[in-house]
Structure 1
Amino acid sequence: MYTTRIRVLVLFLLISSISNAQITDLKNWLALTSASRPPLENLSFAKQALTKNEATIVQNLLLADKQTGMLNDYGTQWDNRLLTYGNYQMPFYYQIFGTKPADGRSLFISLHGGGGTSAAANDQQYQNQQHLYDATMNSLEGVYLAPRAPTNTWNLWHQDHIDEFLNIIIQLAVLKEDVNPNKVYILGYSAGGDGLYQLAPRMADRWAAASMMAGHPNDASPLGLRNTPFAIHVGALDNAYDRNEVAQQWGTDLDRLQVNDPQGYIHDVRIHAGLGHWMNLQDAVALPWMKNHQRNPIPKRVVWKQDNRHHSSFYWLKVPQNEIISKGEILVEYSPSLNEIKILENYADSLKLLINDDMLNLDKPITIKYQDTVIHQGIFHRSILNIYENLSIKGDPNLAFPCVAFVKNNQIVVEENVTPSLNSMKDFD
């Protein structure tokens, strides 16, 4: 008995010393300029196992560094209301309504209409969008932000660069105006509505809710909206491009999806009688409707249908960029009570399951199933590198995951970015 306690104590002290050294090493790495930092994946301390408390410390350090980098890169651009990404520029306007809540402000991103027309016409639509919902926002709370599309093409709101701009906007709004990343809403009118049909499902892990006004979905699918409340507002007489009929069809599709999955696919579809493309602001009810919802960044069930504009991560799932298939579908769920993850559908040869302590108990064995077959059961370990890779793109602490289970061909599971030699110590109980 005494010998066993001594062994436990020795192992505990050894692990603690290793972990404390890891945090020191991380601080030393962060103290270097970005240009002089060696790649974190090449440093052994980044792959050594962490405890839950250590992972929290690491996450805070890495988040602070990420946010400092965002302010260095884009802080002045935000102040000047003009963002640059690659060869594109996005002017934007915003104003703040109401008193800031204790848990942070809301953010409403509002996309203007126009599209394949002159720059002057799109400028007018942008200016109109800036104050389109002022009367409604006066009774709400939040940052109302209207960006100007970088191009004047028909698909001005669903080209590849739009996703990158929105990612930048969300992170800067959090830093500059204390926006709560779980209270980010997106809406759009006409061509902005076209973009909403596309952007809402493919970036669903960023939105608390989304509202489409007077647009057309083109080839978009509602499947990814499982955890994102979605409103549709179209005039009953808005028959150009069959907007009214398509909106009704989406309503039917969302009804069917919700019947089959009652915990998901919250929606509000309104076809406004007697109105055409302009709905006399009857669509403004979408803003308070959205405000009733907050994002759950780690939903227990995720439906991911890949868009033509590829995203490598979605909620707590990830697929290597070179293995993404347009229109590919993944359906995965987890159970805290069973401490398990079940893969129900998966097209990808390589699927990464991102796991944090708010989802499952990382200090006990986790079961992973493909459909009804157990393909793995064991402890997964937290690492600095996993947290870093999660935060490096979206900078969202709610989407930080210290553990990664790499699933190959729905058969083999290995953990990623953890030094194997330390696993036996961390498994000691």
Structure 2
Amino acid sequence: MIKTIFGLTTQTTVALLLISSVATFSQTNLTRKKADAIAATELQTQIAQQKVKAEAEWAAKQIEHKNFTMKFTTQIFGDKPKDGRSLYISLHGGGGTTAKANDGQWENQKKLYTPKEGVYFVPRSPANTWNMWHDYPMDELLAEVVRSEIAIDDVNPDKVYVMGYSAGGDGVFQLAPRLADYWGATAMMAGHPGDAQILNLKNVPFTAFVGGKDAAYKRNELVAQWGKRMDSLATAYPGNFIHDTHVYADMPHWMGRKDTIAVPWMASYRRNSLPKDIIWIQDDILRSQFYWLGTDVATAKQGLKARVAVAGNDITIMENQNDVLYIYLNDNLVNLDKKVTVSINGKKVFDKKVLRNANVIKQSIGARLDKSLIFSGKLVIKNGEVSAI
């Protein structure tokens, strides 16, 4: 006797469930070849979608986010290299002053630097406040700039650089470590560090410039101290914390364009998109992902720290203060055809294969449109236990 369920026979229902199960398994147990094919198609699809949106914004020369509007100008220098253009985001000075004064600083910033190759992107801060470049929603706005420049001008996400003068330098001190996984290199001119999270710069080249007579807000002293801290960190972590600090003894706040050497210095570097050893400290603007680490923003707090390293297929969590920690994986970071091990406090807590998952691929592409940060596997660490998605 054959029973029916919602108008279907039991045999038909079982067959459909089996088909559904096979389809689901085929999307969560991908070969590398299949994962790469899905990634390539999805990346092109999402870039095309972003381009439609970006074309309207680039025509209007402004980006809107909620009730914020960021105007901008772009200039393109040199021929486009085979691996894509560079992008230089250049932040103007000014700060907590009049709109007219900040407009003048914006106009000045447009003429300050000339890269040999790349898109020179000069935004006008949507605010006229002292923290104009590192308060909400600057992270979201700059992330959108990078996404759109990938779509509009074929920018290579491994060749994105940020620089800024005065209040723009303040912004670089904050944005360079907070958004470290975006930058090929960074340049700070005549700003002050405030409470910037220096340890996040482990894998990002950072150059700083200040006049020795630039005593306002103790810029000269603080930049010199920052340089010494970078010296110490570079010694403690050989091969990391690449930096170059310039204190021009006889120069005031305006350094007479001596800082323009920062542009070719930055251009000599490419982003290390998948560093094997990451230090991540949450800033006051919380992030859900940093390189191949992630967390739940709902439980994230300023100051929470994680340090995780990869060697071969072995992942070592040396420190984790997050309630939940995500580890995103791809075949450039580990070999997903083999078992992946995770150790916490010297104890191995995971030793299994991590399946490639189409949903993880699509989600990571949607987040960044970044060819170097496409992930196909994900681990979840919570309460000392590890599970794979």
Instruction: Compute the TM-score of the two structures, normalised by the length of structure 1.
Output: 0.84
In the alignment, which of 79, 82, 92 is matched to residue 102 of structure 1? 82
Assess, with a 3 A threshold, how the Cα gap between structure 1 residues 373 and 100 changes in structure 2: closer, same or farther.
same
Within 5 Å, give how 1:43-122 maps onto structure 2: 44=24, 48-122=28-102
Aligned to 1:277: 253
Higher strand share: 2
Task: State the 1:219 CA deviation.
Answer: 1.4
Percent identity between the aligned chains?
A: 42
Task: State the 1:391 CA deviation.
Answer: 1.7
Q: Deviations over 1:361-399 (max 9, x none)?
A: 101111111132111101000111111221222121211
Q: Equivalents in 2 of 1:46, 1:117: separation in Å?
A: 58
1:291 to 2:267 alignment: yes
Aligned to 2:120: 144
1:321 to 2:297 alignment: yes
CA contact (8 A) 2:54 2:151 kept: no
Q: Equivalents in 2 of 1:348, 1:316: separation in Å?
A: 15
Q: Equivalents in 1 of 2:289, 2:282: separation in Å?
A: 10
Give unmatched runs, 5+ long, in structure 1. Answer: 1-16, 23-43, 417-429
1:341 to 2:321 alignment: no
Task: State the 1:64 CA deviation.
Answer: 2.2
1:414 to 2:387 alignment: yes
Aligned to 1:8: none
Task: State the 1:47 CA deviation.
Answer: 5.4
Q: Equivalents in 1 of 2:91, 2:25: separation in Å?
A: 44
Q: Equivalents in 2 of 1:99, 1:69: separation in Å?
A: 25
Aligned to 1:162: 138
Q: Equivalents in 1 of 2:286, 2:329: separation in Å?
A: 22
Q: Equivalents in 2 of 1:282, 1:98: separation in Å?
A: 23
In the alignment, which of 348, 351, 364 is matched to residue 390 of structure 1? 364
CA contact (8 A) 2:150 2:369 kept: no
Q: Deviations over 1:102-138 (max 9, x none)?
A: 111111110000011111111110011001113xx3x
1:252 to 2:228 alignment: yes
Aligned to 1:262: 238
1:189 to 2:165 alignment: yes
CA contact (8 A) 1:112 1:129 kept: yes
CA contact (8 A) 1:49 1:383 kept: yes
Task: State the 1:55 CA deviation.
Answer: 0.7
Q: Secondary structure at the match of 1:237?
A: coil
Q: Equivalents in 2 of 1:72, 1:46: separation in Å?
A: 32
Aligned to 1:126: 106
CA contact (8 A) 1:46 1:385 kept: no
Task: State the 1:73 CA deviation.
Answer: 2.6
In the alignment, which of 187, 201, 207 is matched to residue 225 of structure 1? 201
Aligned to 2:287: 311
Instruction: Compute the TM-score of the two structures, normalised by the length of structure 2.
Output: 0.92
Aligned to 1:331: 307
The AA in structure 2 aligned to 1:352 is: Y
The AA in structure 1 aligned to 2:387 is: V
Q: Equivalents in 1 of 2:363, 2:109: separation in Å?
A: 36
The AA in structure 2 aligned to 1:384 is: A
Task: State the 1:46 CA deviation.
Answer: 8.4
Task: State the 1:350 CA deviation.
Answer: 1.0
RMSD: 1.6
Aligned to 2:14: none
Assess, with a 3 A threshold, how the Cα gap between structure 1 residues 18 and 341 changes in structure 2: closer, same or farther.
farther
Q: Equivalents in 1 of 2:253, 2:101: separation in Å?
A: 17
In the alignment, which of 205, 211, 217 is matched to residue 235 of structure 1? 211
Q: Secondary structure at the match of 1:200?
A: helix
Give unmatched runs, 5+ long, in structure 2. Answer: 1-17
1:355 to 2:329 alignment: yes
The AA in structure 2 aligned to 1:194 is: D
